[in-house]
Structure 1
Amino acid sequence: MDKHSISAEKGAYISIAAYIFLSALKLTFGYFGDSKGLWADGLNNTTDIIASVAVLIGLKISKRPPDDNHSYGHLRAETVASLVAAFIMITVGLQVIYSAIESFFSQNKEAVPDMFTAYVALFSAIFMYGVYRYNLALSKKTKSASIQAVAQDNRSDALVSIGAFIGIIGATIGISWLDAVAALVVGMMICKTAWDIFHAASLSLTDGFDEQHLQEIGQTILLTDGVKDMSEIKARMHGNEILVEATIHVNPLLTVIQSHDITVKVEENLLKEHGVKHVIVHIEPYVFQKKGTRH
């Protein structure tokens, strides 16, 4: 395993440790401090533990070499793990929303969150923002999409804790329903995060690819020396790797070796400009046409 893989796993381990610490802190003080918002925030962090563990497992499995049943390797293990985490998160998110609505309509007007729960929420926001900055820098260093997703989740959690802090403050100054509303918002943010993870994972697993990015890749191929035209280009995600297939047209008078050299240039340009490591280039003879062709 290379050092970048080890660094990416380190980021997942740090997130797991942070979420275990914060979830225990929030659930404890949320329960004894009568804060539905902080309690919901703690439940949110428990789902983050599961998501981070799923990313860690995916990172480990994805580094396995190709075998008889996986000719392309195991890179999609990260994507499958993200999908599993999304289903778990949406379940918890819906439960938090249900509890918040139930609390709103049956709340005890005299039950006011302890002011100390607000300090816990504020501390959690600052703490998680620090974890976010660390994992964001790590994702750029390792070029790991999964760690980048973890970093964005870290930032969302910091914002959720700020929301819980505002809700608790509101409840302590006499707006008794605000704490339940904060819990409702937290539940919706959990569901939103789960949907984003599900959407990205399902798009990848069904070989979907961003159209604008595909056009940028195609433009890089067309600008490669020796490429006269391009009639087809396809791309898909395989874990964090981009797989590209393209049909290019070259001078029909070139030798096989000269044509091959052009494909090598295409591969080098895609690696340099887009980080694409896996490219299949099919060569066709270029037929001159008066309109709609490149010279």
Structure 2
Amino acid sequence: MKAEVGAWVSIGSYLILAAAKLAIGYIAHSDGVTADGWNNFTDIVASVAVLAGIKIAQKPRDHNHPYGHSRAENISSLIAAFIMMSIGIDVALKGALSLFHQEQNEPPQWLAAWVGIVSTLVMMLVYRFNHRLSQRVNSPALAAAAKDHLSDALVSIGTVVGIIGAQFHLFWLDPLAAFMIGIMICKTAWHIFAETSHLLTDGFDEQTLAVYEQEIAEIEGVKHVSDVKARMVGNQIILDVTIHVDAALTVAKSHEIADEVERMMRNKHQIEMTHVHIEPAFNLNRS
């Protein structure tokens, strides 16, 4: 599956960058680069979780999972969010302690700045690759991972700024960069947690539902749309619709209208599972 290729590219990139930053951050005496390395380490965990979720989501439906296994990806995202939050708090606390108890008498070596610059370029390339791939395969998980790559590139830029500032004896900039990186890790973790929790509790965008309702109401034969509900199962939308049609229509004709609703949602919004419930129009006041 193409989405798996993107996940493996992410994992490989983060493994190399995390190892290089943690080692060079120690050698070059840079708190910022070290914190950025831990940031990439959390990204490895998140990427592995995404890969596991993609693989499990591909399993076919069975008697215990009539809707398939797509939500495994959401569960793995929650696990990654908790791990990222714990590491982010640790990085932020260490940066804060270094900021208020500075013992550094010399700036980080320029090697640390070069690592940050190379990391920025690598992350931008990985971002462009996974962003385009996510659009081709319609993978929300890969799209979210691509956004994380872009934020990682920005974090590396911030690290470079901190190191350059330290060259001018502004030693507080480097631990400040470490502190801010820790905060950004926590922010990303919270965003993943909030978004995933919203999906797992069957949350769905109201404006999108309003668009669906309006388009269904315009289908010939639909007198009224009394209910539209949707939920995400993995990267698939399951739509439940209640429409009212002329009470005098035959069952066959009513079924044709329901088929048209399903066809329109599939062709226009790529929704493969639309469940249509039909009510006679004279029951409008009682429904």
Give TM-score scaled by structure 1 length.
0.94
Matched residue, 1:176: 171
Segments of 5+ residues of structure 1 without an aligned counterpart are 1-5
Question: Counterparts of 1:120-135 in structure 2 under 5 Å?
Answer: 120-135=115-130
Given candidates 203, 206, 230, the residue that maps to 2:225 is 230
Query: 1:118: Cα distance to partner?
Result: 0.5
In 2, distance between residues paired with 1:197 and 1:272? 30
Matched residue, 2:154: 159
Given candidates 40, 46, 63, the residue that maps to 2:41 is 46
Task: Establish whether residue 274 from structure 1 lines up as the match of residue 276 from structure 2.
Answer: no
Query: 1:265: Cα distance to partner?
Result: 0.9
Task: Establish whether residue 62 from structure 1 lines up as the match of residue 57 from structure 2.
Answer: yes
AA at the equivalent of 2:196 = A
Query: 1:93: Cα distance to partner?
Result: 0.2
Verify the 8 A CA contact 1:96 1:184 in the aligned structure 2.
Answer: yes
Matched residue, 1:3: none
**In the TM superposition, what whole-angstrom CA distance separates every residue of 1:175-226 from its partner, at most 9, and x where no partner exists?**
1100011111111110111011001110111111111111112122112222
SS at match of 2:282: coil
Query: 1:144: Cα distance to partner?
Result: 0.5
The runs of 4+ residues in structure 1 deviating greater than 3 Å are none
Query: 1:113: Cα distance to partner?
Result: 0.6
Segments of 5+ residues of structure 2 without an aligned counterpart are none
Identity of matched residues, %? 48
AA at the equivalent of 2:65 = H
In 2, distance between residues paired with 1:282 and 1:288? 13
Matched residue, 2:28: 33
Matched residue, 1:240: 235
Matched residue, 1:193: 188
Query: 1:272: Cα distance to partner?
Result: 2.0
Given candidates 79, 102, 105, the residue that maps to 1:107 is 102
In terms of mean alpha carbon deviation, does 124-133 or 208-217 score higher?
208-217
SS at match of 1:233: strand
Matched residue, 1:214: 209
In 2, distance between residues paired with 1:189 and 1:217? 36
In 1, distance between residues paired with 2:14 and 2:181? 16
Task: Establish whether residue 24 from structure 1 lines up as the match of residue 3 from structure 2.
Answer: no
AA at the equivalent of 2:63 = D
Verify the 8 A CA contact 1:217 1:274 in the aligned structure 2.
Answer: no
SS at match of 1:254: coil
Q: How many residue pairs end up in the alignment?
A: 285
In 1, distance between residues paired with 2:283 and 2:50? 50
Given candidates 8, 12, 16, the residue that maps to 2:7 is 12
In 1, distance between residues paired with 2:223 and 2:165? 66
In 2, distance between residues paired with 1:109 and 1:89? 28
AA at the equivalent of 1:20 = L
In terms of mean alpha carbon deviation, does 213-222 or 65-74 score higher?
213-222
Query: 1:40: Cα distance to partner?
Result: 0.4
**In the TM superposition, what whole-angstrom CA distance separates every residue of 1:77-111 from its partner, at most 9, and x where no partner exists?**
00000010000000000000010011111112413
Matched residue, 2:250: 255
SS at match of 1:111: coil
Matched residue, 1:86: 81
SS at match of 2:203: coil
Query: 1:273: Cα distance to partner?
Result: 2.0
Query: 1:288: Cα distance to partner?
Result: 9.3
Query: 1:143: Cα distance to partner?
Result: 0.3
In 2, distance between residues paired with 1:40 and 1:110? 20
